[in-house]
Amino acid sequence: MSNKRVAYYYDNDVGLYTYSTSHPMKPHRMRITHDLISAYGMLDKMHVLKPKRASPETMASFHTDEYVHFLKRVTPETHSQLTYNQTRFLTIEDNPTFEGLFEFCSISAGGSVGASQRIASGEADIAINWAGGLHHAKKREASGFCYVNDIVLGILELLRTYTRVLYVDIDCHHGDGVEEAFYTTDRVMTCSIHKFGDFFPGTGTQRDLGKGKGKGYAVNIPLKDGVTDESFRSIFDPVIGKILDVYRPSVVVLQCGADSLAGDKLGCFNLTMEGHAYCVQYFRKANLPLILLGGGGYTVKNVARAWTYETACALGIEDKLNVNLPWTEYFDWFGPRYRLEVSENNMVDLNIKDGVLDQVRTKALKQLNELQSAPSVGMHDVPRESVGEHLGFAKDEEEGRDSLDASVAQHARFVYNLQEAETRSEDSDDPDGYRWDSDNSIASSSRRRHAPKASKKRMSIMTNQYYDIPSYENGFEYAIPDKPESQRRFFQSVARWDTRYQRVVVPGREVSPIPKSLYSRHEPRSAVVTSGARYFDDEELGDEEEEDVGSMEDDEEATSDTPETESGDVDEILSC
């Protein structure tokens, strides 16, 4: 077996963060894994790199600006305010807000983006980022302990160089975030082998094939509890082999979620350490550029064992490892056996009953057989770097975006979307009724857009139970006033545009003088009255030639069709 150039990404700070003391996700597992890898002497055989932390701009290549801005600002103290009482971004019990959340995400995402760049540049054959693999994060919300989808960010970087990317996910949970991101393209094929049923995230059936150009390029292998090494290999070998033959990927991204190991706190598979690492060995022998990422795994000592062993598989030295663990700072965590092994338990494999495994395998192979051939990619310009990077400017020398404009735009968008389109009818018998100006297509579209949104359902990764998310309006105490008459559409105005004089006119209000250039040749050089708005000649308002053009001393004059004012009261004149 030829030697591979392996790049290993690790930032020691990643182990300092904690979701909460009782939360099953433990970032500290990365530090335990790293210490065990170091104790086995593997660091000297790899190019060890500290990843450059991902910037908000990098995250925004997939996630929305609004969501990235939220992650950058949110703290445990401001969480309720910024999520509008937990109706936005899904930072709830599964995905709590903790100190240093953005920094944690930037480390995880930075490692995966760096690994992709290393592979794309040809400087490594295999790149490893065990802090990555957070495959549930969505474009605009957190999900399943994942906030930023580093996998999608890494694949987007690979697509700058490679024509086709194969993503394989062996986490016990379906890789829904990655599949969703590339559901409509044929440049990325996603293959997820996962538990399906009453299990988070509740997606990943074999009916989910992709859409549009991506139809057929989403491969799902839904399994039942108790998958053993033998059952796993009986479906992994033929399906992945067929994918390599048909799709012919240029590079492979393997998510090595360790919750598919036997004895995991949240997983329900029964794989041994060797059975799990078989996937790494398989792709190493395929001689394709390979990126290894972490993912789930909630029995910390087994996570460290598996990822240490799989690092050795990437180096091709797994047979040389001593099964007895070397001494590390976390040696006591591996008791009572202190061995490099994860054995299967007595869980029953439900996949061999009623021919379930054969049915899933047959259906997956049929889907792949229907693909004509590897999709071709037309010639495109390589995406250019930013002007600042091209000119060699440091990041802090580049002109930053106006954060005030971004904040104002974000808030205006929130308010506009969450307001009811029209005021409630005071005469209506229906307290929830609406008053519409018309029933045309524009009003109907507005009504649909602004109607109270139905409660959304999500599944908890910890309980595997569905729960409701309150609609957005419930999070805005000021969005639905107590008094119906106080409700009104934002930016409502009685002003109109005067096409004759090219200015805004407010009926009943006096405006600034009309420039001489706008006077009609036939218009008298005196006050011009238009729709209740009075314009004054600039000569009439001269410093020494001002005359009293009227007063409003009695009710009759005040109600006249032509409102008047004292010429000396300049402050009362509205400038348009």
Which positions ≥6 away from 309 have C-beta within 8 Å?
A: 273, 274, 277, 318, 321, 340
Q: Which of 63, 136, 173, 194 is catalytic?
A: 136
Coil, helix or strand at residue 503:
strand
CA distance 3 to 315: 7
Assess whether 136 carries a catalytic annotation.
yes
CA distances from 369 to 62, 242, 246, 286, 373 (A): 31, 8, 8, 21, 9
CB-CB contact of 8 with 132 (8 Å): no
Under DSSP, is residue 325 helix (H, G, I), strand (E, B) or coil?
Answer: coil
Nearest to 318 by CA among 285, 293, 271, 344: 285
Rounded Cα gap, residues 525 and 193, in angstroms = 84
- Rounded Cα gap, residues 188 and 166, in angstroms: 6
CB neighbour class for 401 (10 Å; exposed up to 12, middle 13-18, buried from 19): exposed
Terminal-residue alpha carbon distance, the chain: 79
Residues 549, 347: Cα–Cα separation, whole Å: 97
Mapped onto helix, strand or coil, the DSSP state of residue 293 is strand
Residue 182 has a CB neighbour count (10 Å cut-off) of 22
Q: Which residues are known catalytic residues?
A: 136
